[in-house]
Amino acid sequence: AQSVTQLDSQVPVFEEAPVELRCNYSSSVSVYLFWYVQYPNQGLQLLLKYLSGSTLVKGINGFEAEFNKSQTSFHLRKPSVHISDTAEYFCAVSVNDYKLSFGAGTTVTVRA
C-alpha cells in the first residue's frame, strides 16, 4: 500500500517570501503524484501533477514541484507568496489511477 507524509503541518510565511512544502511518499510501484489546494469552505483544486518525464513540474498560480525518485519526495515550492495563497495544501499519490491517497495537509498562512 502507498502512503504520503507531509512533513510540516503548519507553515507561516511573510508575503513575497518563498515557501516550500515537503511531501514524502512510499510505494513499491510507480506512482502518479499530485498537489491540491483547499481554500476555506471549498473543495480541492489541482495545483499540479507528476506523471512521468521531466522531474520539475510547473502548475497554476506560480507553483512548481520537483519529483525526486531516490528520495521519494515531491516538494512544492513558490518563489514569492501572496496573501491569497493562504490555504491548506495536500499532497496525494495514486498507484493504479483509481484512488488518491492524501497526506494530512499543510496549512500555509501568509502574513503581510
Partner 1 sequence: KAGVTQTPRYLIKTRGQQVTLSCSPISGHRSVSWYQQTPGQGLQFLFEYFSETQRNKGNFPGRFSGRQFSNSRSEMNVSTLELGDSALYLCASSPKSQRGYGYTFGSGTRLTVV
Q: Please give the residue ranges that form the binding site for partner 1 (CB under 8 A).
A: 32, 34, 36, 41-46, 49, 51-52, 90, 94, 97-105
**In angstroms, rounded to a whole number, what is the distance separating the alpha carbons of residues 74 and 22?**
7
CB of 11 to partner 1, least distance (A): 17
Of residues 45 and 109, the one with the C-beta less far from partner 1: 45
- Over the range 7-45, which residues count as b (16 or more CB within 10 Å of their CB) and which as e? eeeebebeeeeebebbbbbebeeebebbbbbeeeeeebe
CB of 80 to partner 1, least distance (A): 26
Least Cβ distance, residue 32 to partner 1 (angstroms): 4
d(CA 99, CA 11): 27
Nearer to partner 1, 69 or 111 (CB): 69
Q: Is 49 helix (H, G, I), strand (E, B) or coil?
A: strand
DSSP designation for 82: -
Which 8-state DSSP code applies to residue 30?
Answer: -
Q: How far is the CB of 40 from partner 1 (least distance, A)?
A: 11
Output 70 or 98, the one with its CB closest to partner 1.
Answer: 98
Q: Which is nearer to partner 1, 17 or 51 (CB)?
A: 51
